[in-house]
C-alpha cells in the first residue's frame, strides 16, 4: 500500500498569494527559483495540510501530504494515462530548479464508506492559513494540522488504503520517480500529493472537433452514423448535453444532434467499453479518418470548462463538426487503472485543480 506521511512545507507568505493565484509557472522554467525564495516560509514541524476547493457549488476537501514514490513503481499508485518523455523532462527540470515539488500531484482513493477522518471538523474549528480565489474563481482554502492525534489518525487511515489513483499529474509523478532513483536523499523518495476522496471528485467531459467530414456530405455522414449503430435525432439549434453513458452530442451546420450508441461493447475490456473509445473506434476513425488522434492535425480537443457554446463556436472558426461526450466516471477510471491499462488521450478533465507554488515539498 502507498506510504502517506506529513511533511514540513515551504509555503508562500500569505501576503504574496498573487504569485500562486495569478501567476502560475508555465511549462518552461522560471528565470530564477532563488528570486522567489524570500517570499516563502518554512513550517517548523511536519504536518498534513487540509486543502478545500470550492467552485460553482461544488466542494471537495482533501489533504496535501508526502507520498512515497515506491507505490508508483510497485503499482499501488495507479495511472490511467500514457506519459510523454518530453513533458517528464520539463517536470524533472522543475524538481532540479526548486529542489522539490512546487505543484501537488492530484490523487484520489476509493472513498465509498471511507471518508477522510477528522478533516472537516478540524477545518470547521480553525481559521485557514489561506483563503483566496484563483483566476478561474475557484476558492482555495488550506489549513495546517497541528493536532498530533489527528495526524496519527490520518496516517493510520492511509495504512488501510490499498491503492491511490492518479487524477492529474502523471508527468509530475513520473519525474519524481525518476529523480528518486538517482538521488541518495531520503526526502527525494517522496513527492507532494493532494489526495481527495473519490466521491468528492468532479470529472468533466473532454470534447472533440474535426476540420472536415472526410469527403462526406452531411447526409452521407448521418447515413454512416446510423449504419454504425447510432440513433440520430436533430434536437435544434441550442447546445445539447449528453445525459447518460452511451449518449453523444454532435454539432454540424449549427444544428445539434443527439446520438445514442446501440451497438455492442466488449465488456471484458474496460478501455474499449468507454464512451470516448466508442467515439474514436466507431466515428472518428472509420468514418472521419482520424486514426491517430494524438498527432492528426484535423482534430482539436476542448476542455469542458469552455462549455458547449465554446464547442459550437469552434464550428464557426474552421471546424466542420464537433462532438461532446458524457464524462468518464470514477468507477471507469478505477477499472482501467486496476487492469494496468491506459485511456485514450484527453479522456478525463478533473476540475478544479490545486494551485502550484503555494506549498513546496523540498528535497
- Write the CB contacts of 345 (distance below 8 Å, at least 6 apart in sequence): 81, 82, 293, 294, 301
Domain map of the chain by residue range? 4-203+350-362, 206-326
Q: Which three cell numbers stand for residue 342?
A: 491506459
Q: What does pTM read for this prediction? A: 0.90
Q: Which three cell numbers stand for residue 36?
A: 522567489
pLDDT tens over the chain, length 363 residues: 899 999 999 999 888 887 665 554 544 334 444 456 678 899 999 999 999 999 999 999 999 999 999 999 999 999 999 888 999 999 999 898 888 999 999 999 999 999 999 999 999 999 999 999 988 889 999 999 999 999 999 999 999 999 999 999 999 999 999 999 999 899 999 999 999 999 999 999 889 999 999 999 999 999 999 999 999 999 999 999 999 999 999 999 999 999 999 999 988 899 999 999 999 999 999 999 999 998 899 999 988 767 788 899 999 999 999 999 999 999 999 999 999 999 988 898 898 999 988 999 998
- 52, 123 Cβ separation under 8 angstroms: yes
Whole-angstrom distance, CA of residue 152 vs CA of residue 6: 10
Among 75, 87, 48, 84, smallest CA distance to 192 is for 48
Domain 206-326 belongs to what architecture?
2-Layer Sandwich (3.30)
How far lies 43's CA from each of 228, 230, 232, 361, in Å? Answer: 59, 57, 59, 11
pLDDT at 17: 82
Q: Which three cell numbers stand for residue 175?
A: 519525474
pLDDT at 20: 64
Q: Which residue has the cell 471538523?
A: 121
pLDDT at 16: 83
Q: Which residue has the cell 525564495?
A: 37
pLDDT at 31: 42
Q: For residue 46, which phi and psi values (nearest 5 degrees)?
A: -60, 140
Among 51, 145, 157, 70, smallest CA distance to 109 is for 157
Amino acid at each position: 500500500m502507498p506510504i502517506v506521511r506529513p511533511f514540513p512545507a515551504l509555503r508562500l507568505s500569505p501576503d504574496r498569494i498573487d504569485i500562486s493565484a495569478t501567476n502560475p509557472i508555465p511549462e518552461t522554467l522560471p528565470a530564477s527559483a532563488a528570486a522567489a525564495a524570500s517570499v516563502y516560509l518554512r513550517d517548523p514541524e511536519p504536518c498534513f495540510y487540509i486543502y478545500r476547493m470550492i467552485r460553482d457549488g461544488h466542494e471537495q476537501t482533501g489533504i496535501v501530504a508526502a507520498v512515497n514514490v515506491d507505490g508508483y513503481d510497485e503499482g499501488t499508485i495507479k495511472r490511467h494515462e500514457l506519459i510523454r518523455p518530453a513533458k517528464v523532462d520539463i517536470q524533472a527540470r522543475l524538481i532540479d530548479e526548486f529542489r522539490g515539488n512546487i505543484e501537488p500531484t492530484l490523487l484520489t482513493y476509493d472513498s465509498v464508506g471511507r471518508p477522510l477522518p477528522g478533516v472537516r471538523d478540524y477545518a470547521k474549528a480553525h481559521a485557514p492559513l489561506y483563503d483566496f480565489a484563483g483566476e478561474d474563481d475557484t476558492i482555495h482554502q488550506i489549513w495546517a494540522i497541528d493536532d498530533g492525534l489527528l495526524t496519527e489518525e490520518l496516517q493510520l487511515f492511509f495504512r488501510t488504503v490499498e491503492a491511490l489513483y492518479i487524477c492529474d499529474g502523471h508527468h509530475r509523478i513520473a519525474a519524481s520517480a525518476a529523480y528518486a532513483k538517482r538521488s541518495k536523499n531520503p526526502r527525494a523518495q517522496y513527492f507532494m500529493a493532494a489526495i481527495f476522496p473519490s466521491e468528492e471528485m468532479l470529472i468533466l467531459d473532454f470534447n472533440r472537433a474535426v476540420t472536415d467530414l472526410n469527403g462526406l456530405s452531411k447526409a452521407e455522414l448521418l447515413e454512416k452514423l446510423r449504419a454504425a449503430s447510432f440513433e440520430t435525432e436533430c434536437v435544434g439549434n441550442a447546445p445539447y448535453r449528453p445525459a447518460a453513458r452511451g449518449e453523444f452530442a454532435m454539432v454540424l451546420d449549427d444544428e445539434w444532434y443527439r446520438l445514442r450508441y446501440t451497438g455492442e461493447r466488449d465488456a471484458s475490456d474496460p478501455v474499449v467499453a468507454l464512451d470516448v473509445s466508442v467515439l474514436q473506434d466507431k466515428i472518428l476513425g472509420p468514418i472521419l479518418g482520424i486514426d491517430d488522434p494524438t498527432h492528426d492535425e484535423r482534430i482539436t480537443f476542448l476542455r469542458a470548462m469552455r462549455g458547449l457554446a465554446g464547442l459550437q463556436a469552434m464550428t464557426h472558426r474552421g471546424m466542420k463538426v464537433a462532438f461532446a461526450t458524457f464524462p468518464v466516471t470514477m468507477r471507469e477510471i478505477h477499472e482501467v487503472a486496476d487492469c494496468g491499462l491506459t485511456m485514450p488521450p484527453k479522456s478525463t478533465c478533473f476540475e478544479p485543480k490545486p494551485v502550484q507554488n503555494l506549498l513546496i515539498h523540498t528535497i
